[in-house]
């Protein structure tokens, strides 16, 4: 059985080595164990996403040799806004408002959503938390019965129950999303769809079997399982959370920290095989840095991973 995973960057900056590590795991596991890779552009945050970043990440993927099985880089270029005869792309989030609106309507018809007038500052001010914990929405608007016109923001009522799931690398895990984050924000007060909601709706629409992503997103798993179940997903996703690349002080590589981009490394004379090998070494997939070809990826995982599938 062929299963399907996805590589889903957000065009809020240029790709860096941390993205390459994720791509190594996505393509490596897929190529080693019978999976297909779908490319998705997660540009739900229209205040931060820019067309120039999307164009750059498509170029970087081509240069590195990561070729999607579903959603070629050229298909995204052809559908880019402003191009003659361009049409919406099924795997670019900003082209698919209707998909998310329909999912929200489904939840609303079931009485699972409510209008929320709280700002992020309101939540942070009223949410008691231990150091390092995310703010938990305290349910301020849950029973307030605000009118639709009071705010564009919508939250989904999250059941007070435990989410149990198995991670391909970390084993059996338990999370309590109602305690972690409270009711999930699915559309903000500016009318933008949130990551937590859009990714769940997209994974269902794109028939994704396995989510392969960094450990920084591990805490999101339980709430995404809850949202998917409320939307009628019958077979839950399987998960694989890989370690992150971090600085010496523990900070993860990120665009916000202005970490050196692949674009800059290319301009400085780096070659693709060298960057792939560097990323593989830094993430523990190779014992030493060396040139690495895309064709070698399956062997990196077949030698260390129990046979893995999306079934």
Both tokens of 262, joined, read 């692949």
pLDDT in the model for residue 243: 93
- Cα–Cα dist 295/299, whole Å: 9
**Residue 235 in contact with residue 225, Cβ under 8 Å?**
no
pLDDT in the model for residue 85: 61
Q: Are strands 154-156 and 113-115 parallel, antiparallel or unpaired?
A: antiparallel
Lowest mean pLDDT among 57-71, 238-252, 256-270, 296-310: 238-252
pLDDT in the model for residue 126: 77
pLDDT greater than 90 at residue 83: no
288-308 pLDDT, tens digit per residue, is: 999 999 999 999 999 888 877
Mean pLDDT of all residues in the chain? 92
Domains and CATH numbers, the chain: 3-302 (3.40.50.620)
pLDDT in the model for residue 82: 61
Residue 133: pLDDT band by 50, 70, 90 thresholds?
A: confident
Q: Which residue do the tokens 């399982």 mark?
A: 225
Output the CA torsion sign for 216, 122, 223, 4.
negative
- Of 189, 180, 194, 172, give the one whose Cα is nearest residue 223: 180
pLDDT in the model for residue 253: 58
- Cα–Cα dist 159/207, whole Å: 25
Lowest mean pLDDT among 91-100, 116-125, 168-177, 213-222: 116-125
- Cα–Cα dist 5/27, whole Å: 9
pLDDT in the model for residue 104: 98
Residue 254: pLDDT band by 50, 70, 90 thresholds?
A: low
């Amino acid at each position: 059985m062929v299963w399907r995973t996805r590589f889903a960057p957000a065009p809020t900056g240029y790709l860096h080595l941390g993205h390459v590590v994720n791509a190594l795991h996505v393509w490596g596991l897929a190529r080693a164990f019978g999976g297909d890779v779908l490319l998705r552009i997660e540009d739900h945050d229209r205040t931060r996403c820019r067309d120039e970043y999307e164009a750059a990440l498509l170029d970087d993927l081509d240069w590195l040799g990561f070729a999607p099985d579903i959603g070629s880089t050229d298909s995204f270029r052809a559908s880019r806004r402003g191009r003659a005869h361009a049409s919406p792309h099924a795997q670019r989030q900003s082209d698919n408002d209707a998909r998310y609106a329909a999912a929200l309507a489904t939840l609303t018809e079931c009485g699972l959503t409510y209008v929320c007038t709280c700002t992020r500052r309101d939540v942070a001010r009223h949410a008691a938390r231990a150091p390092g914990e995310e703010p938990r929405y305290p349910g301020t608007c849950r029973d307030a019965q605000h009118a639709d016109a009071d705010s564009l923001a919508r939250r989904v009522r999250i059941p007070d129950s435990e989410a149990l799931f198995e991670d391909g690398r970390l084993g059996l895990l338990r999370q309590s999303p109602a305690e972690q984050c409270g009711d999930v924000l699915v559309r903000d007060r500016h009318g933008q769809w949130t990551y937590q909601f859009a990714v769940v709706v997209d994974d269902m629409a794109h028939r994704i079997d396995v989510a392969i992503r960094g450990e920084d997103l591990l805490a999101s798993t339980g709430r995404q399982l809850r949202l998917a179940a409320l939307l009628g997903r019958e077979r839950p996703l399987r998960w694989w959370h890989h370690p992150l690349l971090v600085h010496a002080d523990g900070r993860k590589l990120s665009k916000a920290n202005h970490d050196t981009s692949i674009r800059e490394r290319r301009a400085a004379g780096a070659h693709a095989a060298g960057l792939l090998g560097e990323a593989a070494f830094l993430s523990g997939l190779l014992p030493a840095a060396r040139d690495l070809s895309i064709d070698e990826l399956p062997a990196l995982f077949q030698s260390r991973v129990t046979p893995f599938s999306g079934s």
